Structure 1
Amino acid sequence: MDQVKSEKRNLQEFINDGYYYNIPRYQRLYVWGDEQIKTLFEDVHAACTSGKSMYFLGAVITVKSQYHDNCFDLVDGQQRFTTLWLIANELQGDLSAFTKIGEELRLKFAIRKEVYAYFDRLKKNRQEQGLDEVGNELYKVSKALKAIRSLISEKLRSEEDKQAFIQYLLTQLYIIVTEVPKDTNLNKLFETLNNRGIQLSQHEILKNKLLSKISNKQARIRFGKLWNACSNMGEYVERNINIEVGVNLAKHKKKHDLFLYPKDVFDELIKQGRHDSQAFQLTKILGSKEDKATEEKSISKYYASNTNDDEFESIRSILTFPQLLLHTLRIYQFRNELPDIRRINEKELLSIFEEVLISKSNFEENISKDFVETLWEVRQAFDKYVIKWVKEDDSKTDETHVIKHLEIQNQKKGGWTYYFRRIKKEEYNGLALLQSMLYHSQENITQYWLTPYLLEVLEYPPIEEAYQFLKQLDNVLLTSDTNEEVLSERTWACMAEFPTSSYSLKIFDTNKKLGTGFPHYWFYKLEFVLWHERFILNKAEEWKDYKLNSRNSVEHIGPQNPKDDRDKVCIEQLDDFGNLVLVTRSINSEYGYLSFKEKKAKFENKKEKGGFDSLKSDLIYSNNNWSDEKAANHRNDMIQLLMSYLQKTRIDD
């Protein structure tokens, strides 16, 4: 073969082809974390449950192995291919044939014998060592395996669900397989692959389709700059628009007391700013380090040079820009009394916009303008009222969810200089924690709760009103009788007519002992409720700075299989909510089969250092010992607290 060959292939076709796939020594180790695995799994699961006829997982690039017959080296795509192998190995059934050929693994690891042995052990008995027993090369794989098992337990509740998912993976999930010639210069290929980010994305194509409808050049410039300011999710929008316009926006905000600028004001700002400054051309962005340093210097002149302004802090959005576009499209459709979109799925961004907007006979200039202005509104509200991942202390590596207040600062240095600054305020903490609870407990790929919430805060209510609304929205969407409907339909209904107190409160069936099968939402919800009620629990000072992180593992406080039978303190309540907490996988692995007293000692040691496994754990480990009776009492206390909170925050007629 002397030409590049590409074809789409489903897992059944991989099985039929009978090829091995080798991960060469020069490939990096497996690096995917919980968030990437969760996104992949939930994305495919959403496609399966919605009846999507075909799902493209992505692409892999292969080259015929020089050392093994019937084998291809995975030049690119090994992360998703390895993840797919791990999922198939856990689900078994008809997918078992994807994981091996005869008695050999379909996935090979060149000269990494210890890695192959680990995967071979997984294939034969689906057991694995604890995280502290595996080497550095396998640590991420071991964590990935725990994440996959948790997702399977959470998403595939019945054997029917599992078999449907297996068949979907086999026949309707496709991978684009590109085979390159043996004599391909791999160094050159890697260089090309590393530069793939400059290719047009779906949202860039969408931008072109929308702006091409605007006939006036100056209007196109204006709307293009608005779009660009919204698209960079790694900065606050005020910094983005400052760079796009090229003037001191804070000074104009002081003058007009507005951030959502009227058209005439915004157009005037563009006229005052730069138009074709070379510092921001694509050639410069893709240029040398010297070019980029010049660009940064050019950007920085729009900020006060000796201030501690937060525009330069590292932030990370909880949404991608395509996801924000889809939430905006839902709001745009609702405002214009048009039907909802079929789903939030960023991989289908263009087709969704084509379906509900672009392909319509009335798609004209005014629609393009209206949508971009709606996007501009939504993006500003998003930065004002929605959490961001922020590193609050340079000495710490962990990010936390924060909402920061936008203020205008000034300083006198040869004249007054105005600049924007984001500051943390204590009154935002509750809203941030509630959103963190929703973010961690809902699908990363959808976060449907954000659409009605964003629609509400487009009116710019006080933070306390936004907080109260979100508490009620959470109750209606996820803790009432409305949750018999599809979540997308529930959010749309809440946008149309927010329910009054006539809705019925509903929590989990307290008679069911679901063990590790308990929906994670209830543990997250309880964490927020405990923090919300910290004053009546006499924990106000102790819990005031509590932050929620991602937790994916349900742990039994009274162990299921203790090292010593005398440590089995819960029998009747073993799998009941009272004996369970949601913790990180590393904590679950660390606590393992330890007795209650040993777990309590570890918890208290972490607490002294300022860390909490969970607030529920804090209440449990305040006991000196544990038993069926204490687990039942704790369960009853938690249910009473949940019901009290729901009554306290329900909507008045």
Structure 2
Amino acid sequence: MDSIASNLTDIKSIVAQEYEFNIPIYQRLYVWTEEQVKTLFEDLLTAYKADKDIYYIGGVITVNNENSDKLYDLVDGQQRFTTLWLLSNELGGNLEPFTYKNGELRLKFAIRQNVTDYFNNIGNAEHSSSNDSKDYSDLLKIGKARNQINQLILQHLKDEEEKIKFSNYIFEKVKMVLTDVPKTTDLNKLFEALNNRGEQLAHHEILKARLLNYIKNVEKRNQYAKLWQVCSVMDNYLERVIALEIGSSKDVAHIYHNGFHINDVLNLFESSNPQTTLVLSDVLEHPEQYEDIATSIKDNITHHPESNEDEFEPVRSILSFPQLLLHTLRIFLFENEDDDILRINEKELLETFDKHLLKSEIINEKFVVRFFETLFKVRYSFDRYVIKWITVSEDKEEHGIKDIYKQNQKKGGWTYYLRRLNKDSLNGMALLQSILYHSQQNTTQYWLTPFLYWMIDEKPSFNDAYYWLRQLDNTLFSSNTEHISLPERTINSMEDFLDIECDAETVFGTLENLNNSGVSFPHYWFYKIEFILWYYRGQLDKEDDWGNYKMTARNSIEHIGPQNPRDPRDKVCTESLDTMGNLVLVTRSINSEYSDKAYGVKRSMFENKKAKGSIDSLKSDLIYNEDIWNDEKAKEHFEKIMVLLNDYFHDHNLN
């Protein structure tokens, strides 16, 4: 009888055993987003820098292909496996044998010939431009993934030596569980099982159970379990999750007094109707009771009569709950004068808490309750002061902060409501946070630890929070502290309340040294300059044009004066070609759209898009105000940027 075999393996073993892989015709094409690619790359990079013995990438299910004993069809895990293959192809070095076997691709496609041709041409310089994917509409995701990987390599791996070391780490330390199912397996049933498989118990649920075990009183334990539960629902506002938990929005509004006191929330959980909790057998035996309860809860979730539709736009958190837990742990440890965690890595959630919190010599009920209370304060501050992804149309999300208001109405007695409303005065803080979010690692966002710490400690006004965030940005990313690791810098900023002056001259020296870097120029400075331009929009007579500007993810450096124009006469920049004055940070698609076109053509395209309400970047908008473009104009633009930087840093020094 055929059996299923599972083995923990690595790329080195795959190469040694001469395995090849095929994506069969019944599989979908590559669909991973650039954000998913970025997350995998940064996870791998974090593990490499921490010198982790193993980085577990997950499981891959295969079935032996009938054409060869060494060829395996990828049944499950093909998206992740393909991304690893693409990364290996771009890194090269020790990973080259994983990409190619005897000069042929180790990863094969049984879909269409154009797909195979595309993969065969990846290593061919004549066909390696980002425009290749335009020939195949079904391969746009592949093209974007490759470009994203190359940008991440340029951004994070400083030289060829580090690139080789990273390649070696992936080759030897990245592990996967390779499960081979028999050829006789009914693949239809297997796919059905894979598509319907239940989620494993989340690590944060295991952590919750371990912590609650220290709370002996059953009623108290249930209250804190509900507190944890409402904090864990990240893709909604806290007050709405609490209302759904207890079945009443009015009761939640009643206890809100410029914030929530944790004891008031716990009391709501204590007094909530126990009849609203049913076990499965009750639901099956008396479905009509379940319907009555569901209707009752829905009826009690009421909103202010003047509520607008945009108050209820779906929101999505910029952090996962495990990430928020790790930021909370850092704050809690700092408050207890304990050592900081090594890194924010949600895959190491249980390991990190075991090492830093669940230490037998210090943990008890009082200690656990204090952690829960810190978690609740962090979560409330996160909802109040930090951006969320807000769905503004069917296919568009943007970052924003909505203020929470308590509003009453007299109708047979006073009734209170909590509302989430847009506030123009929050646009600046939202924009700066968006810039920090896009310029930092998705999986860490270290800047949030000190920001949230000061929000829960000071409970500031939005004006004070915005001012403090600008100082935090300057201290963490613009001051002369690069010799200190980013996690350590965040802890230092909590200790000293940002008692570090951002020296404008040092910043200018840094930018001057980087000024001929071309596409290797650090992306952070482009993001930073976007914010500073927006900040001085009134001074630049751009108040009307830029007032509602939103930041999007950008990963491609565009030369305004083209590097290799179609017509040599259109090469308007030579000395300034790779300097900040001639460069802007845009999306990959915009870079491809402008490509090798002449300045005048690009300017016309930009103005057409601007007329429709779309601006590539604020820096681009300044540049395309110019009728002509050349080395002198690029130099003048750079000098204008430096003047604004100088003004900004002198305006925002604390000392």
Q: What is the TM-score when the length of structure 1 is the normalising length? A: 0.94
SS at match of 1:358: coil
Q: 2:223·2:270 contact (CA, 8 Å) conserved in 1? A: no
SS at match of 2:389: strand
Tell which deviates more after alignment, 373-382 or 90-99. Answer: 90-99
Between the aligned partners of 1:623 and 1:509, the Cα distance in structure 2 is 24
Match of 1:541 in 2: 544
- Does 2:425 align with 1:427? yes
Tell which deviates more after alignment, 47-56 or 373-382. Answer: 47-56
Which structure 2 residues correspond to residues 459-470 of structure 1 after superposition, within 5 A?
A: 459-470=458-469
**Alignment match of 1:553 (pick from 537, 553, 556):** 556
Between the aligned partners of 2:517 and 2:374, the Cα distance in structure 1 is 44
Once superposed, what is the RMSD of the aligned Cα atoms?
2.4
Q: Which amino acid aligns with 1:167?
A: N
- Does 2:183 align with 1:209? no
Between the aligned partners of 2:261 and 2:108, the Cα distance in structure 1 is 58
- Which digits, 9 at most, give the CA deviation of each residue in 1:255-296, with x for residues without a partner? 562642342x334322331336356x689999xx99999887
Between the aligned partners of 1:290 and 1:325, the Cα distance in structure 2 is 39
SS at match of 1:401: strand
Tell which deviates more after alignment, 476-485 or 526-535. Answer: 476-485
SS at match of 2:165: helix
Q: 1:39·1:444 contact (CA, 8 Å) conserved in 2? A: yes
Match of 1:449 in 2: 447
Q: 1:121·1:128 contact (CA, 8 Å) conserved in 2? A: no
**Alignment match of 2:624 (pick from 609, 621, 635):** 621
When residues 460 and 292 of structure 1 are mapped into structure 2, their CA distance, relative to the original with a 3 A threshold, is: farther
- Which digits, 9 at most, give the CA deviation of each residue in 1:76-126, with x for residues without a partner? 111111111111111112211001211321111123222111101113446
- Does 2:178 align with 1:177? yes
Between the aligned partners of 1:413 and 1:502, the Cα distance in structure 2 is 55
SS at match of 2:161: helix
Tell which deviates more after alignment, 625-634 or 381-390. Answer: 625-634
Match of 1:164 in 2: 165
Q: Which amino acid aligns with 2:78?
A: Q
Match of 2:610 in 1: 607
Tell which deviates more after alignment, 78-87 or 294-303. Answer: 294-303
Q: 1:48·1:168 contact (CA, 8 Å) conserved in 2? A: yes
CA offset at residue 413 of structure 1? 6.5
Which structure 2 residues correspond to residues 475-494 of structure 1 after superposition, within 5 A?
A: 475-494=474-493
When residues 641 and 258 of structure 1 are mapped into structure 2, their CA distance, relative to the original with a 3 A threshold, is: closer
Which structure 2 residues correspond to residues 408-427 of structure 1 after superposition, within 5 A?
A: 408-411=406-409, 417-427=415-425
Q: Which amino acid aligns with 2:583?
A: L
Between the aligned partners of 2:199 and 2:290, the Cα distance in structure 1 is 16
Q: How many residues align?
A: 645
Match of 1:390 in 2: 390
Between the aligned partners of 1:292 and 1:11, the Cα distance in structure 2 is 52
Match of 1:437 in 2: 435
Q: Which amino acid aligns with 1:397?
A: D
Which structure 2 residues correspond to residues 457-606 of structure 1 after superposition, within 5 A?
A: 457-458=455-456, 459-500=458-499, 502=501, 504-505=503-504, 506-507=506-507, 508-512=510-514, 513-606=516-609
Which structure 2 residues correspond to residues 144-543 of structure 1 after superposition, within 5 A?
A: 144-248=145-249, 250-251=250-251, 253-254=253-254, 257=257, 259-263=259-263, 265-275=264-274, 277-278=276-277, 297=295, 299-304=297-302, 307-308=307-308, 312-392=312-392, 394=393, 396-411=394-409, 417-458=415-456, 459-500=458-499, 502=501, 504-505=503-504, 506-507=506-507, 508-512=510-514, 513-543=516-546
Between the aligned partners of 2:282 and 2:584, the Cα distance in structure 1 is 52
Q: 1:384·1:406 contact (CA, 8 Å) conserved in 2? A: yes
Match of 2:143 in 1: 142
SS at match of 2:419: strand
Q: 2:130·2:592 contact (CA, 8 Å) conserved in 1? A: no
Q: What is the TM-score when the length of structure 2 is the normalising length? A: 0.94
Match of 2:66 in 1: 66
Q: 2:556·2:588 contact (CA, 8 Å) conserved in 1? A: yes
SS at match of 2:482: helix
Identical positions, percent = 48
When residues 346 and 417 of structure 1 are mapped into structure 2, their CA distance, relative to the original with a 3 A threshold, is: same
- Does 2:24 align with 1:21? no
CA offset at residue 168 of structure 1? 0.6
Q: 2:478·2:502 contact (CA, 8 Å) conserved in 1? A: no
Q: Which amino acid aligns with 2:449?
A: T
Q: 1:225·1:245 contact (CA, 8 Å) conserved in 2? A: no
CA offset at residue 623 of structure 1? 0.5
Between the aligned partners of 1:435 and 1:256, the Cα distance in structure 2 is 26
Between the aligned partners of 2:289 and 2:585, the Cα distance in structure 1 is 49
Between the aligned partners of 2:446 and 2:283, the Cα distance in structure 1 is 35
Between the aligned partners of 2:78 and 2:281, the Cα distance in structure 1 is 32
Match of 2:649 in 1: 646
Between the aligned partners of 2:338 and 2:543, the Cα distance in structure 1 is 46
SS at match of 2:355: helix
CA offset at residue 501 of structure 1? 5.4
When residues 140 and 548 of structure 1 are mapped into structure 2, their CA distance, relative to the original with a 3 A threshold, is: same
Match of 1:103 in 2: 103
When residues 252 and 122 of structure 1 are mapped into structure 2, their CA distance, relative to the original with a 3 A threshold, is: closer
Q: 1:278·1:284 contact (CA, 8 Å) conserved in 2? A: no
When residues 284 and 521 of structure 1 are mapped into structure 2, their CA distance, relative to the original with a 3 A threshold, is: farther
Match of 1:632 in 2: 635
Tell which deviates more after alignment, 596-605 or 401-410. Answer: 401-410
Between the aligned partners of 1:21 and 1:494, the Cα distance in structure 2 is 49
SS at match of 1:338: coil
CA offset at residue 529 of structure 1? 0.3
Q: Which amino acid aligns with 1:158?
A: D
Between the aligned partners of 1:377 and 1:206, the Cα distance in structure 2 is 19
Match of 2:9 in 1: 9
Segments of 5+ residues of structure 2 without an aligned counterpart are: none
CA offset at residue 4 of structure 1? 2.5
- Which digits, 9 at most, give the CA deviation of each residue in 1:596-648, with x for residues without a partner? 00100100000000111100000101001111111111111111211210111
CA offset at residue 419 of structure 1? 3.0
Q: 2:239·2:252 contact (CA, 8 Å) conserved in 1? A: no
Q: 2:130·2:147 contact (CA, 8 Å) conserved in 1? A: no
Tell which deviates more after alignment, 617-626 or 309-318. Answer: 309-318
Between the aligned partners of 1:463 and 1:334, the Cα distance in structure 2 is 24
Between the aligned partners of 1:131 and 1:233, the Cα distance in structure 2 is 39
Q: 1:62·1:74 contact (CA, 8 Å) conserved in 2? A: yes
Between the aligned partners of 2:603 and 2:296, the Cα distance in structure 1 is 55
When residues 464 and 114 of structure 1 are mapped into structure 2, their CA distance, relative to the original with a 3 A threshold, is: same
CA offset at residue 136 of structure 1? 2.4
